Amino acid sequence: MRAPSIEEIIAQDRAALRACPDFPDCKGCLEEVCVTVASVADFPSEYGRFRIVAFLNNKDDKDHIAIVKGDIGDGEGLLVRVHSACLTGDALGSLRCDCGPQLRHALARIEAEGRGVVIYHQEEGRGIGLANKLRAYALQDRGYDTYDANIALGFKADERDYLVPAAMLMKLGVKSVRLMTNNPEKVQAMEKAGLRVSERLQHELPGHDHDRGYLETKRERFGHYLELVGGERG
């Protein structure tokens, strides 16, 4: 990955970057998906020191980012989390889902290993958007599970695909990943997109009363690998 210079960042035309720009460093880019690096910046955080990479792409209008630790090196065996955005869980401390703890645990694990990537995938509510996710919450308050609530609102149970995150990882120079996920579909989708998943790492954190039903639905209806053992989450 080549970091754009200051002059390039200032001169950037975001609309042009969202179209496939066919830069010299685009070799290896997926045909359907063209991602470009808009900026690379230092990112000190509570979890450690990372680099934060902004991407633009030709497939959606979303600003997906990568949080990168250490050197990508030969690109093999990187510890990776592809994390779907969840404002309520990631930033507001929601107990309706396990997203916040999963994100924090991924960053801490990568920091401890000294090398890895979190892709922050802007696919709120499994791709239906924030307001629609909250509409689905209202349905869930009246007895729907997270699967049926999305269907009732006219969406698929899961609207996400992983072409953009896979292309972002490949642009960073990643060739194979040890993927922190409980979601078998995510593993298959990354491989289909051309990225080798050398290992799936269980990424389950202790649940509690508020998200038990949600996690049970993930296991029973989405086929996620979850043990759902007890324990209190701090």
Shortest gap between Cβ of 71 and Zn ion (angstroms)? 31
Decide: is 34 part of the binding site for Zn ion (CB under 5 A). no
Question: Minimum distance between the CB of residue 101 and Zn ion, rounded to whole angstroms?
Answer: 10
Please choose, out of 97-105, 139-147, 148-156, 220-228, the segment that lies near Zn ion by the rule CB under 5 A: 97-105
145 is catalytic: no
Q: Give DSSP secondary structure letters for 96-113.
A: SSSHHHHHHHHHHHHHHH
β-strands 35-45, 48-57 pairing: antiparallel
Is 161 annotated in the active site? no
Among 68, 79, 97, 168, binds Zn ion (CB under 5 A): 97
CA-CA distance, 224 to 101, in Å (whole number)?
17
What is the distance in angstroms between the CA of the first residue and the CA of the last residue of the chain? 37
Task: Find the shortest distance in angstroms from Cβ 52 to Zn ion.
Answer: 21
Which residues of the chain form beta strands (DSSP E)?
35-45, 48-57, 65-69, 78-84, 116-121, 176-180, 196-201
**Residue of 72, 86, 149, 179 interacting with Zn ion (CB under 5 A):** 86
Closer to Zn ion at the Cβ: 89 or 207?
89
Choice between 57 and 102, CB closer to Zn ion:
102
Q: Is residue 89 part of the contact set for Zn ion (CB under 5 A)?
A: yes
Point out which residues bind Zn ion (CB under 5 A).
86, 89, 97, 99
